[in-house]
Amino acid sequence: MRITEIRVYQHNITVAGGPYEMAISAVDTLDSTVVELMTDEGVSGFGETTPLGPTYQPQHALGARAAIAEMAPQLIGLNPLRTELVRRAMDSALTGHNYAKSAIDVACWDLLGKVRGERLCDLLGGTEHHSVASYFGVMPDTATRTAHAARTREDEGYSRLQVKVGGRPLADDIEATRAVAESISPSTKLLVDANKGWTMRDTIEFSLACRDVRLSIENPCRTYDEHRAIAGKLNHPLFLDECTTDLNTITRAITDGTAQGFGMKLSRVGGITPLRTVRDLCVAHGIPLTIDDTWGGDITAAATVHMGATIPNPFFEGTWISYPYQEQAYSCATSPIRPSNGTIPVPSGDGLGVQPKLDDWAPPVATYS
């Protein structure tokens, strides 16, 4: 099998019910890039990348499509079923830009599953699960409204809640966190996520003020070195997210004892091929992790759910998908991937188990052959 053509599609994703807010930014609309790999055997595979705006990380939608344009000519003629070799070809054609490489890598795995007649999760080692646990991110608000929102999501079946903090006085974050902790069941996992919006001092002060509350803190500061400096001064486990941009940093965070967990984004590390290495590394060291991405439609959701389904229960913290926060990204002929009662069913079809309804799509914005 050989790649004969690479088609690139663009879709706008509208945030439902107002902006999606984080400490460092808020977004109303996201720009999704979908890649279709065409082959000489008439089978195609799909991948997707949707940066969370241009300021969340050094990723943006126009950059994704420019990076694909740089790499695509070097990929024509390659066997997409040799996922590691495709990955090396992308690295040889372009340094960095993992978020763009992720879309192509996922499309290769989708193809591999379709050719072999197996689900992605089975290609990755298999699963005994029919669904995976999901978690919900509660937007910043007053203490009363944040607690009410958290309680509502718990009633919907979510067993892990992430409260967004930062970008406002620290006292407001402390008050809201305490209100949430008092309103939810002790069995529900609580995590506060500052998305790089706190200083080291803020993080230490928050952990001290909430030292009696059972919770974890996710990526409060900007850099890995900042987290390493404060890791031993906190009263809570520290999860790393935005600052874990490559396998070397993830390895350091484990061996240094800085991270007690990871919020792993599919597109940040470059797709399924490198993410399975992260999965195995975390399991080997007993480190829990979530499997997510920065947004996207059913293609992205399927990839994260399949990977999450392969992680042993003691180490799997859940999968976040952006569906509850957005309007439909694009049409698919297969059943949509949606959370229900706090879980997300694992797609049953070959590969990703998602088949885009291309007749409803606008023509590709770029084609490479």
**Residue 220 structure tokens:** 């409060």
Of 265, 295, 241, 297, which Cα lies nearest the Cα of 50?
Answer: 295
* Helices 247-255 and 272-284: angle between axes, nearest 10 degrees: 10
Task: Find out whether 110 and 103 touch, Cβ atoms under 8 Å.
Answer: no
What b/e sequence results for 121-138 when a residue is b if at least 16 CB atoms lie within 10 Å of its CB, and e otherwise?
bbbbeebebebbbbbbbb
- From the centroid of its chain, how far is CA 59? 14
Active site residue 101: no
Of 325, 259, 260, 314, which Cα lies nearest the Cα of 292?
Answer: 325
**Residue 360 DSSP one-character state:** G
Report d(CA 354, CA 141) in Å as an integer. Answer: 36
Q: 8: which strand partners?
A: 35, 366
Catalytic residue selected from 114, 164, 189, 196: 164
Active site residue 233: no
Catalytic residue selected from 101, 114, 189, 265: 265
Question: 3-state DSSP call for residue 264?
Answer: strand
Provide the annotated active-site residues: 164, 265
